[in-house]
Amino acid sequence: MKIVISPAKSLDFDSAVPTEKYTTPQFLNEAEKLNKALKKKSPKQLSKLMSISDKLGELNWQRNQDWHLPFTPKNARQAVYAFKGDVYLGLDTYTIPPEKLDQLQDKLRILSGQYGILKPLDLMQAYRLEMGTKLKIGRKDNLYQIWGDTITNALNNELQDDEVFVNLASNEYFKVLKPKLLKVPVITPVFKDYKNGKLKIISFFAKKARGLMVRFIIDNDIDNVEDLKGFNYGNYAFDTNLSLGNELVFTR
């Protein structure tokens, strides 16, 4: 099984990392090219490019200036311990038993505007570059054009012919892939909550549920769709009536 998730805007480079294991991102050369382009932009230009506040523009200008190779455990951090948004709240990585880290490393992939695709233990330095950012590099007008073929090919190289591929990324990030070119079908879980008597996708809960599902997969060694339907973390349950084809709907 392979799973893709989105990164997070919020980062944690302070908490103690519970493992000394680390790996190197596959596309560091490409990431360096992006960084060189970003380094040329002023804080105000970054604020405009990313639609962020002046304060965040300053912060990310400094991050871009500090970004440098080679990555080491002293100047970088394993990706799954660096992101701390809602998905990662659900995943709760710090409580994953050490003996499960190899499985996490094998199954989980994090899509990234800066790095393309990251394994959980890949070292990364702090950045902000959302996939939807219209950063022009050469003849490429945006990150979808820059990364699309690269990430899709990378996943195809890893996927076995009959392997289950689970999309737990946001639409912004999953759009970088070219599903028709993937060698296996895409299974997309959807999480809905009852609110005022109606089922709705509520952003915070849905994001956390994506992380919870990754944790469920790792905790229970899930490797097939039928067992995936048994997901019950956070009081969610599979809804046969609402699910259609490769879209699996879970409600609570």
Residues 165/186, Cβ–Cβ less than 8 Å:
yes
CA distance 4 to 131: 14
pLDDT-derived band at 189, boundaries 50, 70, 90: very high
pLDDT-derived band at 116, boundaries 50, 70, 90: very high
CA distance 91 to 107: 13
Q: DSSP characters for 30-80?
A: HHHHHHHHHHTS-HHHHHHHHT--HHHHHHHHHHHHH--SSP-TTT-EEHH
Token reading at 82? 């660096």
pLDDT digits (tens, 9 = 90+) for 24-45: 999 999 999 999 999 999 999 9
CA distance 2 to 161: 12
pLDDT at 21: 97
Token reading at 137? 């590099």
> Do β-strands 77-78 and 123-124 pair in parallel, antiparallel, or remain unpaired?
antiparallel
Q: What is the pTM of this model?
A: 0.97
pLDDT at 216: 98
Q: Over range 137-163, report the average pLDDT.
A: 96
pLDDT-derived band at 219, boundaries 50, 70, 90: very high
Residues 70/22, Cβ–Cβ less than 8 Å:
no
pLDDT digits (tens, 9 = 90+) for 56-81: 999 999 999 999 999 999 999 999 99
In single-letter form, the type of residue at position 206 comes to A
CA-CA-CA-CA torsion sign (24, 30, 33, 35): negative
Residues 192/249, Cβ–Cβ less than 8 Å:
yes
pLDDT at 6: 98
Residues 114/9, Cβ–Cβ less than 8 Å:
no
Token reading at 229? 């339907």
The three-class DSSP label of residue 161 is: coil
CA distance 151 to 208: 24
pLDDT at 177: 97
Say what percent of the chain tops pLDDT 90.
Answer: 99
pLDDT-derived band at 204, boundaries 50, 70, 90: very high
pLDDT at 34: 97
pLDDT at 26: 98
